[in-house]
Structure formats: structure tokens, C-alpha cells
Amino acid sequence: MLFNKQKKLGQVFLKDQTAIKKIIQAGKIHEKDQVLEIGPGKGILTKALIEAGANIIAVEKDAELVKFLKNYFKDKHNLKIIQGDIRDFLKTSQFHTQYSILNTQYKVLGNIPYYLTSRLLRLILEIPEKPSLVIFMVQKEVAQRIISQPPKMNLLAVSVQFYAKPEIICYVSKNSFSPKPKVDSAVIKLTPYSVIALRQMVERRSFFKIVKAGFKQPRKLLLNNLSANLKIEKEIIKKAFKQLNIPLQTRAQNLSIKQWVSLSLLLIKNNV
């Protein structure tokens, strides 16, 4: 079957069975596991999930692919295929009430369009019904940014690591896809922290307000960025730095996620 290549959807199809096996192994997919698959495409990962005995909800935006998948997997009773944008689906009452997947420790897997990576990660990690595990195929450079540690922290790394522990499972050559993309990929695994743990750390909106202010101009000193973008006196920030043993010459990329949380807690006490 020939598919219309819709570049606006960022479609590339994985064809490497070795990568599929690594995804299944990393996800520890067992019989009766509940899985939300994002962007099943031509169904190569879907097939492996079915063979592992998982119960799957697959959300695909491309109507042509949905038609193909429903025909190809027509006899598979452990698979539900939904046509739609995953960003919209996660916000619907369908996701919250219709599927028993939400009453389980469900897992999220997928080969997502690279242009959606940052927004989709935040959306999934912020939903109330958090998955127990997330495994995505993403652009290699993006995966490396996500797992960054000081002195190479970045806004994406902080945004993800606030919610989950990331690790790269493997790298996948661009030759493993059709059509062939311009860049190599990576399989990244995210293990979300519990909601209780997040609440004990820091209030989310205030935290990201402070982090975004810190990374506003990454080459500038963190002290100057925070003062200018949060409209607070430098002495207040200096005092917080001193309490946390953060040098005054520090830049945003030098702070670990734990330091960001601790700094945010101190600044929030000063009504930031």
C-alpha cells in the first residue's frame, strides 16, 4: 500500500526490528500491560506490543494510516485504534473516563514527530493520570539535551527532569527509517516521579517561572537573569545563593535539578 507522505505531520516510519525489540525490553512489556501508543504509523511497534500480550490504545492522526491499521489488525481484540491528534485526545473526556487504561499503571510508547517532542513531553508529564513509564523515539540531539547534567543543563532538561528520570536506551540510525530522515534518533525512557513527590518539592508554576527567567539569556550570569526577569533585588538572590553554596558567577546551565528546586523554594518564600 502506498501512503501519501504528509510532511506537515512529520511522518517517518521505523523499520528496524532490533530497535523495536529494545523498546519492548526497556518498557518491560508483559501480558495484560496497558499501553497508550502514540503515532503507530504502519504498525511495526503495534505488532510487537500485540505479540507481547499488551492491551493497547493507539492514537494516530493520519486518516489513511488509521484505515490501514484497522484493516491490518482487524482480528486483534487487544487493540483500539483512535484517529486524532494526541494533544487533543489527552484533554478529552474519552481519555479521562472511557478507557480502563486510566485505572492501571499504564505505559506510553511511541515514535513521535520531532517537532512535537518538547510540547508533547510536557503535556504527558503534567497530566493528572501520570503514566508509570514513557518511552519515545526522538531526535538524537534532543535526547542528549534531555539527559544533560551540569555544566550543560538547559531548559528542556530541567523541564523533563523536574517530572521524571530520563535515560537513553539506544541510538537508532537514520537508515532505520522510511523515508530516511536527515538526523539519527534515540530511544529515551522516562520514569515519572510520583505526584506526591512533586508536591513536596515545589509549586510547578512558580518553579517554571523562575527557571525560564534563569535561562532567558543563557550566556549571562544567573544572578543577573533572575534579577532582571523576575524584577527582584539582587541582594535577595545573593542571599539565596549563599544559603545553597551557589557561586555568584554561576550561569543557568551549571545548576542541577536539585539546586533549581532548592533555589526556587527560597525565592518563592520571597513572593517571587
Q: Across residues 81-98, what is the average pLDDT?
A: 78
Question: Of 140, 171, 197, which residue sits at a domain end?
Answer: 197
Q: Same domain, yes or no, for 260 and 191?
A: no
Question: Looking at the 3D structure of the chain, how many domains does it have?
Answer: 2
35 and 163 housed in the same domain: yes
Same domain? 216 vs 193: no
In a domain, 12, yes or no: yes
**Residues 150 and 216 grouped into a single domain:** no
Residue 2 lies in a domain: no
pLDDT at 92: 72
77: domain CATH number is: 3.40.50.150
CATH number at residue 247: 1.10.8.100
pLDDT digit string (tens) for 169-203? 999 999 999 888 899 999 999 999 876 665 567 88
pTM of the model: 0.89
CB atoms under 10 Å from CB of 45, counted, come to: 25
Domain carrying residue 153: 7-197
Tell me: the pLDDT tens digits for 246-272? 999 999 999 999 999 999 999 998 766
- 173 with 259, same domain: the answer is no
Are 156 and 254 in the same domain? Answer: no
Residue 179, pLDDT score: 86
Same domain, 130 and 181: yes
